[in-house]
Amino acid sequence: MSASLAERARSGDRRALARLLTEVENRTTAGEQALRALYPLAGRAHLVGVTGAPGSGKSTLVAALTGKARAAGRAVAVIAIDPSSPITGGAILGDRVRMQIHATDSDVFIRSMASRGHAGGLAASTVAAAAVMDAAGFGLIFIETVGTGQSEVEVAAIADTTVVVQAPDMGDEVQAIKAGLLEVADIVVVNKSDRPGADRAAAQLRAMLTVGAHSDRAAGDRPRPKRPEVLLASALTGAGVPELLGALDRREAVHRAAGADGGDAALKRAEAQISGILAQRVAAQLREPARAAQRATTLAAVAAHEIDPFSAADRLLELLRADRAED
Amino acid sequence: MTDRPLKVLIAKPGLDGHDRGAKVLARGLRDEGFEVIYTGLRQTPEMVVSAALQEDVDVVGLSILSGAHMTLLPKICAGLREQGMDDVLVTAGGIIPDDDIPALEQAGVSRVFGPGTTIREVAEFIRANVKRREV
């Protein structure tokens, strides 16, 4: 049944695509089977991560970019993530509010996702959802993170291009040289450029973010800081949006030129996906009834400080290995 | 089916600009453990149907105070059916005269909640009436 769901999603059935995304999000067996079928067909889309503080204008900017990309004839998908309540598990997914102008365009597909306890600014199934949209033929996919602070950098590990959105009044030059979010940006956008102070903020960011890039003579093999482009835009008036889309198009061209393996971004994404699935598989195996007693004993021993968590993890891994050897 | 959070779309069809009620309900349902997608003001029936489809929601909750409910709500129900989404629970709230309720129910609205309804009532109605959906 799910094979046909994947097939229908591929052939443009939006209802099937939506339903499939639910299966993937809920990590069902049907979702996993569909992903196995679709994964070889993905890898063609440009995945653009959009991140930044709450209220910096990410959703409005994504809506404006989507409008320009549609005018250029591209099919656009958006995954917009908002946080789940750590108390009740509920969530308010409000990013569509800024994007409703595209609601009835059949070549725009917007999907909200709750983070469901996943830290780092994304949901656990975000990459998988993007792969489904990719296989369904969307060539440009925006992944909008939850409103982030200084260090939710996970999106950079899964996107081809990472855009960090800043509002004009986000702080002084010291903020611009702090480690974290700004370091992973390929493009920094000072949004709300219609407001006072935007030019100055952009100038400060440019000055500070290019400092390291010119003084890395002794870096050797150490990873070097990126040299992000700093652009001004106003999602409200549309100023600077075509230039931003142009910058994204150039990045996409570079990726295409990097070849079929997609280069570093694709490798990083593969690693992020596999490590997530590995952790999930190990946890699932440990939850199996046959291991429940061992697991409970080990947890209790750590809680009582009788053994340390490292030894506990080693013990549980050894348990899985021993069971495998018996099979 | 795994124990997943239910998804609710809260939409404001039509031209009235009063969405405090919709926001309070969205917030309340969040606290009841639902994943609530809010669309904002001034939605056409087509926009509501499209959002419900893309988000694959279990419930569509429509807040309307303009008096246009007899036009807009049946259109939304028909649109959902057209898209094969007849398994989606449709509820409404706002200022809707009792006399209009039978016709709205006939059109596909499962329940009309009037002023004074508690969040808990809405949440319990949803949990009791949401359909188990097959892939």
Nearest CA of chain B to the CA of A146: how many Å?
A: 14
Give the number of domains in chain A: 3
B2 interaction partners in chain A (CB closer than 8 Å): 26-28
Cα–Cα dist A122/A148, whole Å:
10
**Is the residue at A283 inside a domain?**
no
Residues A305 and A254 in one domain: no
**Is the residue at B16 inside a domain?**
yes
The region of weakest confidence among A67-71, A183-187, B7-11, B55-59 is A183-187
**Is the residue at A280 inside a domain?**
no
Cα–Cα dist A190/A79, whole Å:
22
**Is the residue at A125 inside a domain?**
yes
- AA letter at B68: A
Quick one: A287 exposed, middle or buried, by C-beta within 10 A (0-12, 13-18, 19+)? Answer: exposed
ipTM value greater than 0.90: yes
Q: How confident is the model at residue B2 (pLDDT cuts 50, 70, 90)?
A: very low
Contact A80, A93 (CB under 8 A): yes
pLDDT, tens digit, for every residue of A120-139?
A: 889 989 999 999 999 999 99
Residues in chain A: 327
Domain limits at A8?
1-40
Does A91 sit within 8 Å of B38, measured CB to CB?
A: no
Tell me if chain A has a CB within 8 Å of the CB of B128: no
Does A5 sit within 8 Å of B46, measured CB to CB?
A: no
Strand, coil or helix: A52: strand
Residues A160 and A99 in one domain: yes
Q: So what's the pLDDT on residue A264?
A: 75
- Cα A199 to Cα A172, A183, A192, A193, B104: the distances in Å are 13, 21, 10, 7, 54
B88 interaction partners in chain A (CB closer than 8 Å): none
Q: How confident is the model at residue B3 (pLDDT cuts 50, 70, 90)?
A: low
Cα–Cα dist A79/A115, whole Å:
11
Nearest CA of chain B to the CA of A196: how many Å?
A: 28
Does B83 sit within 8 Å of A90, measured CB to CB?
A: no
**Is the residue at B81 inside a domain?**
yes
Does A14 sit within 8 Å of B35, measured CB to CB?
A: no
A103 interaction partners in chain B (CB closer than 8 Å): 39, 43, 46-47, 50-51
As a whole number, mean pLDDT of residues B37-43 equals 92
In chain A, residues 67-96 whose CB comes closer than 8 Å to chain B: 84-85, 88-94, 96
B34 interaction partners in chain A (CB closer than 8 Å): 90
Residues A54 and A33 in one domain: no
**Is the residue at A273 inside a domain?**
no
pLDDT, tens digit, for every residue of A268-318?
A: 888 888 988 898 889 888 888 988 889 999 999 999 999 999 999 999 999
Q: So what's the pLDDT on residue A272?
A: 84
Chain B interface disruption, residue of A26, A32, A33, A92, most B CBs within 10 A? A92
Q: How confident is the model at residue B1 (pLDDT cuts 50, 70, 90)?
A: very low
As a whole number, mean pLDDT of residues B101-124 equals 95
Residues A34 and A48 in one domain: no
- For residue B117, give the CATH number of its domain: 3.40.50.280
Does B54 sit within 8 Å of A109, measured CB to CB?
A: yes
Residues A23 and A58 in one domain: no
Does A19 sit within 8 Å of B40, measured CB to CB?
A: no
Order of all β-strands in the sheet with A161-166: A108-114, A76-82, A140-144, A46-52, A161-166, A187-190, A229-232
Give the number of domains in chain B: 1
Q: So what's the pLDDT on residue A182?
A: 83
Residues A222 and A159 in one domain: yes
The region of weakest confidence among A209-213, A285-289, B103-107, B115-119 is A209-213
A96 interaction partners in chain B (CB closer than 8 Å): 37-40, 51, 55
- Cα A19 to Cα A25, A30, A36, B36: the distances in Å are 10, 11, 16, 17
Q: So what's the pLDDT on residue A269?
A: 84
Q: Which residues of chain A have pLDDT under 70?
A: 1-3, 171-172, 211-225, 259-263, 327
Domain limits at B33?
7-96+109-129
A93 interaction partners in chain B (CB closer than 8 Å): 35-38, 55
Does B43 sit within 8 Å of A100, measured CB to CB?
A: yes
